[in-house]
Structure 1
């Protein structure tokens, strides 16, 4: 069982850790142009795209569980149909983003006010990169489908290609050709389509037999989309709740002044750093849990859950010790501002607690997605988000920044506790009566 888990988890972790490398290089390239406006433009433009694309992440999440279950059941036709339906929904949504790009950019820059120069460069960045939407969202569908087929290497190779092409083109366009923020946008645009082309190549090379089931008549028959849309809607609501908490965390941090904003932004980066590793095992659980649910094999399902939690807590313990005993040098990686590091002393306990608290949530998230127990996961996330906002609104005046960080910890803890309670009725009992 450990071999199966690591065969999936390690490629996911490699894929995850390539992502911050590109954003770091982009930041460095913009930071050396002699104008902070271009740096701010990349930050603002990226924030808009992160919000847009995070709302489409449900396509990848829901596709994994449904595909893995059909893989476990050996149902080639449904696996082929899931590929077609996921791509159809992804591309439809992406083309809507392109069609309504002017309205989206107008609303985004109306909400996110910046200096005139920053907004001008960010608008230019947005107008170029928005045309990558079909490739970016299409890759969500392909990645989810590959993971469902227990293939973690394909998403890894795609992620590496996208990031290598992105890095190379950004250096060429910015450092070599003298382009600025628009050069980064073009680099991202071309890189995303290179990833999509590689994904299509892998399908044609390895999974061509599934394409015969993808027929326009079947794809346009929406009577067959019942479960597909139900799962996708549940995951979309769940994702939106997570994004709402994250967005509020950033807005609330900004209101607390530059010093606390610096502390909270770095703390969030430390959560992300942990998630790059923990999500590798969560993604592995999506694929394996889905497969065993499809096979209706309760014994292997319970076994893989036990092993995944074991690996998860092991990773969480490593990060807990790392943050407890090496938090100062880690903070220095993100900032050279002594005041930010000194201020972090007052709040470091919250970030030390995050790994062991959040790992329960991250692992359950993967298990629930693999089992497509999405209604229960949706409910758990909504309740946890409500608790986050209640804690912040009621205790912000008295606890100040501690209220925000407490709310974040409770958000993770509540999701883990509620999904632990739901586990037997949502997954085990349903499997027993099938």
Structure 2
């Protein structure tokens, strides 16, 4: 009777160590990624308003491409982690190589489409006559780095599945430093203007991809894994990614609808919404780090056939998600007087943003649960359910958000609908994890 609590405490400490060891480096890597765009913005911003506007249009397109193909990291993490749990490292690396080959194929397809259509794409996004030439220049050069960018996503998934989040952190930091140095040198030193910024980013991305490939190839040689493309394996990776692609596109649709509604509310509302959305995205990095740990840990437990270990790890990660969400919510409330003046001096924007920030703060524990359970089900390879759950969430959110301008309540009401969206996600994910149907054990799902 006295040993069960001891074992329980020991198990929690073990899960805590695993979560921290994976989540902390993952958080650092996640934060490093948007710093690429921040560095580009700071450097290009001194060239002129038209150049900065062109960068804004082109970078929005590139970031959309990255978010669409993020399934390369998620699906690969889950598949590789299962093989690791089953003790089959050669098959784990082979699975990862399938994801990398898929990334190269998708990257080549994007380049083939984007290069000739860049002017039409920029025009579709409404770039001004002054900004459009710079947007086209930046987009045509930067798109050449898309294959490397997608390889980085897939290779990151491989290393996460191998329970290694430190290497992606080191590569991300090195890539950020190289990107900043290259951009400054090419933009100002070589006097290439916005084209220099694009080339600097492409070179940095190719360097990051090369480092990842060296790491993966070294592991493949060590464990005797084949490096040649396997049509069946690539097809399986693509099939596993389709539901996650649906999930991601549904989430992007939610964010676009929210921004469109905010724009209809007025200039102060859309300005405040942009500030709050930026903060919301930053908070998501901390919670997503726990989700990434969940993908790797859950996949490994299920691959090892340890359903009870997966269940215990899930429970502990939910506790972590709630705790981190509470802390983040408190920080949002406390930092409000300092945070808003960093982005605006307009009293009208501040007045609109303050009550909406309270909504964001109160919703953070819910967000913590959502991110963790999302990661758990990804780690279990439960992509089809995640796709349907997000489509249901989109169906609930859309009419609620579109009613905000009609019923009133302004930006506070809009962010209340965002909280409704996260609550629906929490309920759908909780029902799935409670059912236990996601716990399919074995090296493959």
Shared fold by TM > 0.5? yes
| 1:239 matches 2:253 | no
Deviates more, 1:290-299 or 1:420-429: 420-429
State TM-score, norm by structure 1: 0.93
Deviates more, 1:331-340 or 1:156-165: 331-340
- Alignment correspondent of 2:124: 111
CA RMSD of aligned residues (A): 2.1
Offset at 1:336? Answer: 3.5
The 5-angstrom pairing of residues 366-405 of structure 1 reads: 366-399=375-408, 400-405=410-415
| 1:16 matches 2:36 | no
Deviates more, 1:75-84 or 1:422-431: 422-431
Q: Does structure 2 conserve the Cα–Cα contact (< 8 Å) formed by 1:8 and 1:152?
A: yes
Offset at 1:403? Answer: 4.3
Question: SS of the counterpart of 2:225?
Answer: helix
- Alignment correspondent of 1:32: 46
Offset at 1:56? Answer: 0.9
Offset at 1:299? Answer: 2.5
Offset at 1:244? Answer: 1.2
Offset at 1:304? Answer: 1.5
Cα distance in 1 for partners of 2:204, 2:109 equals 21
Deviations 1:293-319 (A, max 9, x none): 101112221222122122222221111
Cα distance in 1 for partners of 2:297, 2:221 equals 23
| Aligned pair partner of 1:261 in 256, 270, 294 | 270
- Alignment correspondent of 2:9: none
Offset at 1:429? Answer: 5.6
Offset at 1:103? Answer: 5.0
| Aligned pair partner of 1:184 in 187, 190, 197 | 197
Cα distance in 2 for partners of 1:79, 1:27 equals 39
- Alignment correspondent of 2:423: 413
| 1:200 matches 2:209 | no
Offset at 1:95? Answer: 0.3
- Alignment correspondent of 2:321: 312
Structure 1 residues 248 and 290: alpha-carbon distance in aligned structure 2, compared to 1, 3 A threshold: same
| Aligned pair partner of 1:70 in 83, 87, 102 | 83
| 1:6 matches 2:16 | no
Cα distance in 2 for partners of 1:293, 1:304 equals 11
| 1:275 matches 2:289 | no
Q: Does structure 2 conserve the Cα–Cα contact (< 8 Å) formed by 1:94 and 1:137?
A: yes
- Alignment correspondent of 1:341: 350
| Aligned pair partner of 1:301 in 298, 304, 310 | 310
Cα distance in 1 for partners of 2:243, 2:216 equals 28
The number of residue pairs the alignment matches comes to 428
Structure 2 gaps, min length 5: 1-13
Q: Does structure 2 conserve the Cα–Cα contact (< 8 Å) formed by 1:271 and 1:354?
A: no
Deviations 1:310-358 (A, max 9, x none): 2222221111111112212112222333332232134232222231221
Deviates more, 1:310-319 or 1:36-45: 310-319
Deviations 1:217-269 (A, max 9, x none): xx12x3x5665343211111111111111222233333433321110011111
